[in-house]
Structure 1
Amino acid sequence: MVSAVEHAGSKPEAAWGAVLSMALCVAMLIASEFMPVSLLTPMAEGLGATEGQTGQAISVSGLFAVLASLLVTTAAGRLNRKWVLVALTAFMLLSLVLVAAAPNFAALMIGRALLGICIGGFWAMATAVIMRLVPAADVPRALALMYGGQAIAAAFAAPIGSYLGGIFGWRAVFWALVPIITINLIWHVIALPSMPTRQRQDVWAQFDLLKRPYFRRGLIACMLSWGAAFTMFTYLRPFLEQVTGVDVTTLSVLLLLLGCAGFVGTWAAGRFISGNVAPLLKLPALVMGAATVGLLLLGHVVLAAGLFMAIWGAMNTMFSVIWMTWMAQNAGDAPEAGGSLMVAAIQASILLGAVLGGLLLDGLSIRATFIGSVVLAALALALIGSGKRMLKPA
């Protein structure tokens, strides 16, 4: 079976059913990764662990995601990418079962580590797979559709998880995801075309990309942009509690507003991102950095805080589409190697941004954390400039 977009001698056709299947997988990955944040306290109580220990178990998925993003495409060798994606989705299913049924803290750690492998492996391959499912002109729109799953999960996973966890218990929340992922697994098998590997992937392809000055500059700029975003986002709740002075209900509404704004970003990404992506590379750092400055200046006013959070949330979903489109256009000869490096860089930036923000919060104040985010965004803007130096030479 040959991919619809690879059929020799015929006009390329987009496999949108497969793209939708990928979007559902994204939603489940994001929900599985961040659902525990809203269930931290009952999970700790249920497993006889401290909240700090449970938090470490949650973050361990990020560590394994970094490792998997660099190694999965190489380890998969010449395996058909359809079946690699099917296997990763099956591992996600197993991870959810392990977490839901975890009798102790060690089992939770194993389940979360397995989920990290799924996250890193999926994202490392996702853009390369999209590039094979649709014609080149449709790649930005397909990426926006896939990242629509991220917007859905970001908007609803935490509040729904918290609500259902309070009624049925935290284990029931994870069990509720199992049938959805099972359906997604079957959908993958039906909708994804066969995607045999054209050549064996190895770590040298990643080193080759890092030797290219334009790609190296882009990767550093991407890391600074993501680091800026998550230095702020990780500690948004303490800011809203300490500076804005919100109660739990208002906090939930503001977070839901931020998540729902992501749908606007997804729509805009699909409609406006096409052709030369260079002028757009600075938008995430510029807009999200400006929103953070707005929170620093006017964050004590609830309505102002809501406005800036909505702006931040809309750009957050465009963020991934912009940079993955850049990767597709400038590492098209090695998309899996490019995807591996991008995912590793993003996951590392998220972890390091959270560490930097935490040090500033504990050592100085929550405002210092947000100022640190703005400084990283400014460094990203200085490096990106017009974006032309991030493009592959013609």
Structure 2
Amino acid sequence: MPLALLALAISAFGIGTTEFVIMGLLPEVAGDFSVSIPTAGLLISGYALGVVVGGPLLTVLGTRIPRKGMLLMLMGLFIAGNLVSAVAPAFGLLLVGRVLAAFAHGAFFGIGSVVAAELVAPHKRAGAIALMFTGLTAANVLGVPMGTLLGQHFGWRSTFYVVAALGVIGFAGIAALVPVQPRAADTRLGPELAVFRKPQIWLALGMTVLGWGGIFAMFTYITPMMTEMAGFADSSVTWLLFLFGVGLFVGNLLGGWFADRALMRSLYVILAVLAVLLFAFTFAAHSKVGAIVAIPLIGVFGFATVAPLQKRVMDQAAGAPTLASAANIAAFNLGNALAAWLGGLVISAGLGYDAPNWVGGLMAAVALGIALFSGALERGAGGVDTGGVGVGGKVVARGGTAAEETVTAGR
């Protein structure tokens, strides 16, 4: 794999850390600014909203800018956002810093996915996307626990200074290692918007919202689930989250590997198993042993969806994938917000802390239904829904032998 992918992964590590580390620092931030924990929680929802709005918006504004230049600008914005957060004298300015960093998040992963895919041969593109997202999973395993520990011992501002430093390292890596890619012949916004007239794009985005949302329904309420139902001590939640993070890391790599070989077949299997695991966790969450077994498995199959879902959108938007790629990153965060809201509704309705698990299972099951429908439409149109490797505006469908390869144009 090219070293440029390492630079993208380091940048993703910094972005992933700043997104999730605030969850462990809410009490410190709330106490410093004399606000309630729910008010401090706006730093989480505000960030998610920033990703949903900022990703597509900055991608549109950067249509005429070469992708490497755009990545450097986004990392500069990310660094600025974290520095604003670190020095913020008031809660409102801290929220502004979070939103600035979030704007960089959405566009970075959208454009970075396109850049990563173009750095390797067509049959390795999902793996390249997965390698970039490894930085995001590593942030959950290492960045968030270490950032939380740092903030608890040296003040929450120290965490944002360190994350800004990670952004500087990522900026330098992109500047030194990512090659300057030739500007597309057509840099108009029209072709980027035109892909959204394709039903398959909206089906792919729906898969992302519901498939990824399924896992976040569980993850949002994992702490009360484990302490109130499974009987774990508060101090044990950190290790359970570490197990979950390890599962995310493994699932990310496996998802990319399988998607490069049979993208839609991989999605069918991954979403089906994820739905079963989430439904089963409704019962396993009442047992310490069941939770220890189930949590990393949910992490594996949850993040195994990411590379296939991202590549599916890019394949369907072949020829103008940048805005669609950024929209899919927004779809991931929309899934986060939707799942957290639905999970909160069922808990508030008195259905218990385990109820978000069957909400997540239903979301994953609906995502599977959308995937099957999308594949059926593709087969009906004469396309190939499994094993396809996107190559520019074409898909090479691999048959039983190399001699039986067929090429279907117009994807």
Please, what TM-score do these two structures have when normalized by structure 1?
0.90
Q: Is 2:266 the partner of 1:280? A: yes
CA RMSD of aligned residues (A): 1.9
SS in 1 for 2:354: helix
SS in 2 for 1:366: coil
SS in 1 for 2:164: helix
Distance 2:343 2:191 in 1: 33
Deviation at 1:118, TM superposition (A): 0.5
Deviation at 1:212, TM superposition (A): 1.7
Residues 205-354 of structure 1: pairs in structure 2 closer than 5 A: 205-354=191-340
- The answer to whether the Cα contact below 8 Å between 1:91 and 1:115 also exists between their aligned partners in 2 is yes
Distance 1:389 1:25 in 2: 38
- The answer to whether the Cα contact below 8 Å between 1:65 and 1:117 also exists between their aligned partners in 2 is yes
Residues 117-132 of structure 1: pairs in structure 2 closer than 5 A: 117-132=103-118
**Which runs of 5 or more structure 2 residues have no equivalent in the other structure?**
384-407
AA of the residue aligned to 1:26? A
Deviation at 1:207, TM superposition (A): 4.4
- Partner residue, 1:4: none
Residues 1-394 of structure 1: pairs in structure 2 closer than 5 A: 16-198=2-184, 199-202=186-189, 204-364=190-350, 365-385=352-372, 388-389=375-376, 391=378, 393=383, 394=408
Distance 2:329 2:377 in 1: 18
- The answer to whether the Cα contact below 8 Å between 1:127 and 1:335 also exists between their aligned partners in 2 is no
| Structure 1 residues 372 and 123: alpha-carbon distance in aligned structure 2, compared to 1, 3 A threshold | same
SS in 1 for 2:183: coil
Q: Which has the higher contact order (CA 8 A, sep 6+)?
A: 1
Deviation at 1:270, TM superposition (A): 4.4
- Partner residue, 1:3: none
Query: For each residue in 1:273-332, what CA deviation from the matched residue of structure 2 results, as whole angstroms up to 9, or x when unmatched?
Result: 313311112234322222222221222211210111110111233221111122233222
SS in 2 for 1:282: helix
- The answer to whether the Cα contact below 8 Å between 1:78 and 1:196 also exists between their aligned partners in 2 is no
Deviation at 1:164, TM superposition (A): 2.0
Deviation at 1:36, TM superposition (A): 0.6
- The answer to whether the Cα contact below 8 Å between 1:231 and 1:373 also exists between their aligned partners in 2 is yes
- The answer to whether the Cα contact below 8 Å between 2:17 and 2:147 also exists between their aligned partners in 1 is no
AA of the residue aligned to 1:381? L
Query: For each residue in 1:253-288, what CA deviation from the matched residue of structure 2 results, as whole angstroms up to 9, or x when unmatched?
Result: 111111112232233234433133111122343222
Query: For each residue in 1:95-124, what CA deviation from the matched residue of structure 2 results, as whole angstroms up to 9, or x when unmatched?
Result: 111111111111101101101110111122
Please, what TM-score do these two structures have when normalized by structure 2?
0.87
Distance 2:261 2:374 in 1: 14
- The answer to whether the Cα contact below 8 Å between 1:278 and 1:386 also exists between their aligned partners in 2 is no
Distance 1:255 1:390 in 2: 39
Distance 2:46 2:4 in 1: 30
Deviation at 1:200, TM superposition (A): 1.7
Moved more, 96-105 or 229-238: 229-238
Distance 1:26 1:158 in 2: 13
Distance 2:41 2:101 in 1: 15
SS in 1 for 2:181: coil
Distance 2:116 2:256 in 1: 14
Q: Runs ≥4 in structure 1, deviation > 6 angstroms?
A: none
